[in-house]
C-alpha cells in the first residue's frame, strides 16, 4: 500500500517571501548568467551582508542588502550610476555658481539621473572627478576618516631636487598642521621654461593641500591634474569627457568604501 502523499515544497516565488532571488539579481547586475550565479552561490563564493549564503532560494533586497562575490562588492541597485569626469580647468565643482562660471551641469545634463560630485577639485585644477547619484557611497568617501588616496601630476616652477622630494615624503608643516606625501617622485626635470613635473600621492582631503605643499617647498604650481582617485585612474579620458565606471572599477570602489564603512562602525 502506498504511503501518504508528501506535499511538494513550494518554490520561494510562491511563498510570498519579500525581495528577489539572489541568483536573479546577480545575473541582472551582470556578474554572471543565472546558472553560473547559482554555481557561485552553492560554492560559497557569495556573501550577503557579510555572511556566506549557499541556499539558492535566498531572497535579497537590491536596494538595501550588501552583496559580494569572491570578496568584491556588487551593486545590485540598477538605479545607481557612477561616472568619471575629466574636469577641465575653469569649471567649479558644483551644480551652480552665483558668479556665472562654468559648472558641472555642463557635463551631467545628458544623464537621466541627477548626478553630484564626490569631493571637489579646485576651479584651476583639472582631472578625475567622480559623479554619482549614490548618496550612501558619496557620504562614506567624503568622511574625514576615509582618506581616499589621490595622485596628482603637478607642473611647478623651478628645478625640483631629490632632496625636495624626500622632504615632501618626510613631511612639512603647514598653517593647519603637518602633512606628508604618501608617495612623491620627479617625473621631469626643469626644461627651457624652468618648470619641473612632480607626481604626488596623498590621502588628505584638506583644502588646496597639494598646491600649499609645493608652495611651501619653494615650487609654486603652474598646472595641476588629478590622475587617480582610490582605485580609479583617469587614463586617456579626454578633458571634458565622461564615461561610466567599468564593472571592475565599480567593484573595487564599492569594496573599498564598504570596508571603510565597516571599520568606522566597528573600530575593533
Instruction: Find the catalytic residue in 65, 103, 122, 215.
Output: 122
* Cβ-defined contacts of 112-118 (< 8 Å, 24+): 113/79, 113/81, 115/81, 115/83, 117/93, 118/142
Active-site residue flag, 124: no
What residues are labeled active site?
A: 122
Amino acid at each position: 500500500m502506498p504511503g501518504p502523499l508528501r506535499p511538494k515544497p513550494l518554490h520561494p516565488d510562491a511563498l510570498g517571501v519579500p525581495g528577489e532571488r539572489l541568483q536573479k539579481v546577480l545575473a541582472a547586475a551582470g556578474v554572471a548568467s543565472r546558472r553560473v550565479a547559482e554555481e557561485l552561490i552553492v560554492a560559497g563564493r557569495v556573501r550577503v551582508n557579510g555572511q556566506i549564503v549557499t541556499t539558492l532560494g535566498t531572497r535579497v533586497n537590491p536596494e538595501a542588502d550588501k552583496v559580494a562575490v569572491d570578496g568584491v562588492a556588487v551593486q545590485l541597485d540598477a538605479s545607481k550610476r557612477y561616472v568619471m569626469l575629466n574636469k577641465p580647468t575653469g569649471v567649479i565643482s558644483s551644480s551652480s555658481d552665483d558668479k556665472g562660471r562654468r559648472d558641472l551641469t555642463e557635463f551631467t545634463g545628458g544623464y537621466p539621473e541627477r548626478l553630484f560630485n564626490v569631493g571637489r577639485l579646485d576651479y584651476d585644477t583639472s582631472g578625475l572627478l567622480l559623479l554619482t547619484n549614490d548618496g550612501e557611497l558619496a557620504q562614506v568617501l567624503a568622511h574625514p576618516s576615509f582618506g581616499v588616496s589621490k595622485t596628482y601630476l603637478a607642473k611647478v616652477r623651478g628645478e625640483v631636487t631629490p632632496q625636495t622630494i624626500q622632504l615632501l615624503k618626510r613631511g612639512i608643516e603647514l598653517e593647519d598642521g603637518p602633512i606628508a606625501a604618501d608617495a612623491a617622485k620627479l617625473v621631469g626635470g626643469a626644461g627651457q621654461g624652468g618648470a619641473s613635473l612632480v607626481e604626488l600621492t596623498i590621502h588628505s582631503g584638506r583644502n588646496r593641500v597639494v598646491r600649499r605643499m609645493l608652495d611651501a617647498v619653494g615650487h609654486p604650481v603652474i598646472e595641476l591634474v588629478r590622475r587617480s582617485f582610490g582605485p580609479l585612474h583617469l587614463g586617456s579620458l579626454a578633458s571634458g569627457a565622461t564615461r561610466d565606471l567599468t564593472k571592475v572599477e565599480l567593484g573595487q570602489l564599492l569594496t573599498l568604501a564598504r570596508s571603510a564603512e565597516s571599520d568606522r562602525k566597528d573600530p575593533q
